[in-house]
């Protein structure tokens, strides 16, 4: 059985951090002004706003591309089966 929460994250500067550290850092960044620059995300000081934007892009990417959601094509046959199934429930 796999877990949904990864054990760690790799930052753009190549450093690996544990999930707990990543989450705690995210909370701390949300409290800082967006224009303030911090070290440790990239090889250079990066504004908090840019880091938060990158984190949100990663979250959306995880949800949209790797979340495991598969949308099947709605063929005529499948549509007929769904109609029949839902009519029987009424």
Residues 6 or more apart whose CB falls under 8 angstroms from that of 85 comprise: none
Q: What is the mean pLDDT of residues 40-56?
A: 89
Tell me the domain boundaries of the chain. 8-89
CB atoms within 10 A of CB 11: 15
pLDDT of residue 90: 47
Q: Give Cα separations from 28 to 12, 31, 54, 62 (angstroms).
A: 18, 5, 15, 22
What pTM value is reported for the model?
0.61
Token representation of residue 45: 């000081």
Spacing of C-alpha 85 from chain mean position? 35
**Pairwise pLDDT comparison (80 vs 88), residue with the higher score:** 80
Q: What is the mean pLDDT of residues 71-77?
A: 72
Q: Is the pLDDT of residue 13 over 90?
A: no
Q: Is the pLDDT of residue 42 over 90?
A: no
């Amino acid at each position: 059985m796999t877990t949904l929460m990864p054990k760690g994250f790799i930052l753009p500067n190549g450093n690996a951090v544990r999930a707990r550290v990543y989450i705690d850092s995210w909370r701390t960044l949300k409290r800082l002004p967006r224009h303030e620059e911090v070290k440790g995300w990239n090889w250079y000081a990066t504004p908090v706003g840019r880091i938060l934007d990158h984190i949100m892009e990663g979250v959306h990417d995880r949800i949209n591309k790797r979340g495991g959601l598969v949308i099947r094509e709605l063929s005529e046959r499948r549509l007929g089966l769904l109609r029949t199934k839902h009519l029987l429930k009424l």
